[in-house]
Amino acid sequence: MVQNGHNALVKMCQLQPNGDGRTRQTVANTRKAATARFSNIHSAPKLSRQKHKEPKLDSEESLPKINPSVGGLCGLENIGNTCFMNSALQCLANITAMTQHFDNLFSDSPDDQTVSYAYAHLIKLMWSGENSSVTPRELKHRVNRSAPIFSDNGQQDSQEFINSLLDALHKELKDDSNESIVTQLFSIKTRSTVTCSHCFMPDPNDQSSNFLPLPLPPSSFMSGKHAKQLTLEYLLDDFFKEADLDGDYYCAMCNQITVAKQKSDLCSPMPQVFVIQLKRFTYNNSNDKIDTFIEFPFNNLDLGRYAIAQPSDDSLYDLIAISNHQGSLSSGHYTATARKVNDKWFSFNDQYFEEISSNINRRQIVTNNAYVLVYSKQRNR
């Protein structure tokens, strides 16, 4: 039954936007099927009212209060090829520290035109326990203003949306020292060091980013001796190991054109939330998607081993959310999987959500659709 719902939504996402009437029939049928489906779920927390809500930010209605016991179980309506955004938002909404921050950030201010206010309002509606789904239309509208690539109605990339939203939030919320809740939670500091192979002089270059883009080997890599080695840890080991720098290197120290080695390391402090993008999309002539299956851990991902100075107790991470992409680059569908209270896993498919069976079937969660992995520091989870 779940599969039917998925297929209907995949078809929906493949349709070209053509006004609101286009998929009403499909949506109505899918909704009916999903209502029947969810009435069979016993273990999901009961929502006080099954209703849909669209935030009206300019209304006098006061902001809802967050109800942590419901764990933010709330679907997000698709407003035309927006499953990428819904998938991204479910991942971010599941970061407790971020949700708490935005819960405390604003009081009612209907005139506030910021992305931050729209995000806070949406998160409060999602976490109020009063809505089975909400429509993130106003947030999309405001993110579009700062990142116009999302302003057409085409299918986009969930990681790009996460990045654009975090950039917009950071710009609005940063203090004089360029810090914000975004840098506090997400900032991954890396040092790339190029070492001359003639004089061995290291040339370090520090950078920071809100996520780690991790290259994947092509699907054909799966055959033969590597088949069992494709774990997230393997890819991270590969990413952070020392390797030959492509091409010639001019060393300013010894004034030679020579070759060099390059190595990347993580720097302290390690972020509270570590977002990893599995780079499945190759935007070259072929526009292929890499379907390679990557095994990734739910708990105890040790990222401290990639740090320049081993952090003592701060380096273990647990998985809290996944943005999944199924299908091809041109016509696909995004969903999300999130770990909620009591380590229960839920899948989110636009306005629908459901619990993944309690004797966790790892293969339902760890799939080759996994595209963005959100890890949270264990002690803060």
Q: What is the closest distance, in whole angstroms, from the C-beta atom of residue 260 to Zn ion in the complex?
A: 8
* Cβ proximity to Zn ion, 203 vs 302, nearer residue: 203
- Nearest residue (CB) to Zn ion, 256 versus 380: 256
Asked if 260 is part of the footprint of Zn ion (rule: CB under 5 A), the reply reads no
Query: Which tokens sit at 325?
Result: 């992409």
Instruction: Give the residue with the Cβ less far from Zn ion, 41 or 201.
Output: 201
Report CA dihedral (344, 349, 351, 357) to the nearest 10 degrees. -30
Task: Kindly state the smallest distance separating residue 205's Cβ from Zn ion, in Å.
Answer: 16
Compute the least distance from the CB of residue 370 to Zn ion, in Å.
Answer: 42
- Pattern of binders to Zn ion over 32-61, x per CB under 5 A? ------------------------------
Angle between helices 137-146 and 158-173 (to 10 degrees): 80
User: Which of 266, 257, 302, 274 minimizes the C-alpha distance to 193?
Assistant: 266
Nearest to 1 by CA among 358, 363, 349, 372: 349
Single out the residue of 45, 64, 66 nearest to residue 53, CA to CA: 64
Distance of CA 171 to the CA centre of its chain: 19
Shortest Cβ distance from residue 245 to Zn ion (Å)?
12
CB of 250 to Zn ion, least distance (A): 9
Residues 6+ apart with CB under 8 A from 9: 30, 78, 83, 333, 349, 350
Closest approach, Cβ 261 to Zn ion, in A, equals 12
Q: By rule CB under 5 A, what string of x and - marks binding of each residue 188-207 to Zn ion?
A: --------x-xx-x------
Spatial CB neighbours of 115, under 8 Å, sequence gap ≥ 6: 139, 142, 143, 145, 146, 165, 168, 169, 172
* Count of residues in contact with Zn ion, rule CB under 5 A: 7
Please identify, using beta-carbon distances, which residue of 28 and 201 lies nearer to Zn ion: 201
Which string of x and - marks every residue 239-258 that binds Zn ion (by CB under 5 A)? Answer: ------------x-xx----
**Which of 74/196 has CB closer to Zn ion?**
196
- The two three-digit tokens of residue 111, written as one number: 């005139």
Interface residue list for Zn ion (CB under 5 A): 196, 198-199, 201, 251, 253-254
